[in-house]
Amino acid sequence: MTDRETFIERMGLAAESDGLSRIAGRLFGALLLESEPRSLDDLAEQLAVSKASISTEARRLVERGVAERIGKPGDRRDYYCLTADFFAQIIRFRLSRWAALHRLAREMQIAPPDQPRLVRDRLAYIDEVNAFVLARVEEALREWSDREKPASTTPVERRRGARRERRSKSVAKRQAAREPLG
């Protein structure tokens, strides 16, 4: 295996531990190493998986705001690349999962008052840590978004990134509301 292939495979393994499929992680790794958008056909061939699998996982990455689908004039194929703020989107998605855990803990906090003191303390601990950490991470993401973007991005890329960021925040909120923990 080449270093690129090893990296892509390791991204697949890392994605599995984060609740995604191995193919989604490998797809992310392949897109991370590309400077130009890639077609589903090219990605399927590179990763040695079916085009249907790549299509499914590409949609999943698009839904999470990590990748985007692009069309090319005169070409009917779909192309994919990472969004400008792909890593911040990954962090936002993880925050949405933390928020889901926090909601569950809050539900138990307001549940029957006859819970043992230790259980009430644990639930309060989750609430306190969540509030403390979440506020700081969200503030860091806001600061990051407000920073001047690198010179390598064009004004059009920055505008597209801002639109994607607004859209993917709402996607992350919807996913957190419906996605099970785990």
CA distances 85 to 43, 125, 165, Å, are 21, 32, 7
| pLDDT at site 150 | 57
pLDDT of residue 131: 86
Tokens of 21: 């499929």
Q: In angstroms, rounded to a whole number, what is the distance separating the alpha carbons of residues 14 and 116? A: 38
Residues, the chain:
182
C-alpha 2: how far from chain center: 26
Query: What does each C-alpha distance from 58 to 79, 114, 121, 156 come to in angstroms?
Result: 10, 47, 42, 23
Q: In this predicted structure, what is the pLDDT of residue 99? A: 85
From first to last of its 182 residues, what are the pLDDT tens digits of the chain? Answer: 679 999 999 999 999 887 889 999 999 999 999 999 999 999 999 999 999 999 999 999 999 999 999 999 999 999 999 999 999 998 888 888 888 888 888 888 887 778 888 988 999 999 899 889 988 998 999 998 888 565 555 545 555 555 555 555 555 555 555 555 54
Cα–Cα distance list, 92 to 10, 28, 139 (Å): 22, 16, 12
Positive/negative CA dihedral, 19, 23, 24, 29: positive
Q: How many angstroms separate the first and last alpha carbons of the chain? A: 31
